[in-house]
Chains A and B, each alone.
Chain A
Amino acid sequence: MTGAAGTLAAAAPPPVVAGPASSRGKERLFAGTVTTSGLLVFGLLGAIILMLLLGAWPALKTFGPTFFWNPIWDSVADQYGAGVMIYGTLATSLLALIIAVPLAMGVAYALTEIVPQALRRPIGILIQLLAAIPSIIYGMWGFFILAPYIAEHVVLNVADAFADVPVLNRVFDYGSGNNLFTAGLVLAVMILPLITAMFVEVLGATPVILKESVYGLGATRFEVIRHVALPYGKRAFIGAIMLGLGRALGETMAVTFVIGNATRLSPSIFAQGATISSTIANEFNEAGGGSLKLAALLGLGVTLFVISFIVLSISRALVGRRVEN
């Protein structure tokens, strides 16, 4: 017995800290590699900001801070301001939220409370697949299917209905099918699967015991969602909405097809417009290397970066990082 214990003690490996020199070298190499990669990711964001600012500098120097609100974008006179595009970006994104959030809420409610248990997982997977469809597909659908429909059935009827109402006849003025409203609609359809998936997750995160106790008091399904699940997940819901907003703000392909790409300001939501990303996508190849226009387009990029950074930071502060994906 004592002999066996003695052998074990003798065969015990030397302490790890004082391992052979080659092992310590490998340890340092590995730790160095992963740390460098981490720093590289950090540097990537810095490089993006730096490169955008560097490229945009000539325009920012020429136009000063007025670049960020001046509504004139004139390639002929070489005068550039981001005002129209900022308006278009915010207008289409907010429109998308106004349409998509109630729909997503309805779908999430139906999925968690009404649809039979057996169907929930397949439908959940279906939603994730829809969220994976490339945005250019949404853009094509908007351009070939939605825009003609809007032109024929929505714009005329709505504009007719409001033709004699003072202010509203300016907001719903006659126009084509490619307009701010259509762009907002396409964005809404695009972010719908994303927001719905997050809403379902938040609703599912309500503690069962909390729901059960309110059911026990005789509450209906709707009352449980309205008075228990909604308040419980309030922060996460707002965070999810902000994440959807962030996605809509920066979307390029889904919008570029249907917004009409007109860089002038109009109060009508049926007027052609432009967003920051659609203008960059459209006009980049017309801008020569080193031209003021190129710098102005990069300035638009800086503007978009600032807007999305703010929205994403708010979203992250509200939800933490677990809800997404």
Chain B
Amino acid sequence: MSARATRRKAVNLVAGVVAGAAALLSLLALGSILWTLVARGLPALHWSVLTTSMAPTGENGGLANAIVGSLIQVALGMAVAVPIGIMAGTYLSEYARGSKLGDVIRFVSDILLSAPSILVGLFVYVLLVATTNTYSGFAGGIALAVIAIPMIVRTTEDMLSLVPVALREAAAALGAPKWKVVTLIAWRAAGSGISTGILLALARVAGETAPLLFTSLGNLNWSTSLGKPMASLPLTIYQYAGSPYDDLVQLAWTGALLVTLGVLAINIIAQLALSRKR
């Protein structure tokens, strides 16, 4: 074997080893995160965390109000985002193919999709908090909606564009008007894909902290009023993790474990639904 061939083989081997090392190192870092989460969060995971509200240090508080606050705000956000997102995605796929306006809206939606979430928080602060002079669960829900909308727009458009044109033409040939072709044929054919997108958006907003900092603010007490500041799991984790008290830090880890488990569970369900369809 020539020296040149030996050298090329050696380079190939080294590249493989380096790539393997990079993969190992990455898995190590990410494994460390998951391990820390479980090791620190699990020991304190009791029913009482889910049933009692937040309390000052030393009083054995739980996370019940934060969990309920999160559920309320995420539900409100999704209730606003799902119809708008699906409609706008339908517009892009069915009514704006090749139009200038469609291209602009698609670009805007993509920018919104990747825009820093803290900016959404600032936006909703100026729009809803500064004008009403009160932080509120409503403002928090709207902020989450703004984050979810572009995600749903994107998946709706993508999934609708996968529906074969022949299917639409067949319906149109039977005399169905366009709105019936879209709602009865295209939406139905793309239904499971769109649902997956909605689930992924749900998982994403459930873990968002930054947009809630100056919209729903957080609340130490039990409150389900949309007009008042409202607690949420990610915000509570943020507040407790930075506190000097061990029991509150412990609660932050337990909350972090809960959020991650919830987010991962939704993601796994979405992935399974998607792979079954394939």
Contacts and interface: CB of A to CB of B under 8 A. Distances in A.
A312 interface: yes
B87 A34 contact: yes
B209 A45 contact: no
A106 B19 contact: yes
Contacts of A23: 177
Interface in B113-172: 114-120, 122-123, 125-127, 130, 133, 146, 149-150, 153-154, 172
Task: Name, among A133, A136, A221, the residue most crowded by chain B CB atoms within 10 Å (CB to CB).
Answer: A136
Category for how many chain B residues contact A: 35 or more
Given A106-B23, A140-B252, A308-B116, A42 B105 contact: yes
Given A106-B22, A134-B234, A40 B123 contact: no
A47 B123 contact: yes
Given A52-B122, A223-B12, A298-B126, A45 B111 contact: yes
A320 B263 CA distance: 28
A109 B176 CA distance: 50
Dominant SS among interface residues on chain B: helix
Given A136-B256, A143-B241, A220 B11 contact: yes
Contact of B260 (A34, A134, A220, A324): A134
B116 A137 contact: no
Given A110-B22, A277-B118, A47 B127 contact: yes
B1 interface: no
B47 interface: no
Interface in B22-75: 22-23, 25-26, 29-30, 32-33, 36-37, 40
A16 interface: yes
B264 A132 contact: yes
A163 B202 CA distance: 50
A56 B177 CA distance: 49
A252 B16 contact: no
A138 interface: yes
B76 interface: no
Contacts of A168: none
Interface string B249-268: 00011001001100110011
B277 interface: no
14 contacts: A16-B176, A30-B183, A38-B92, A48-B120, A51-B123, A102-B22, A132-B204, A134-B209, A136-B209, A141-B37, A189-B33, A221-B15, A223-B12, A298-B122
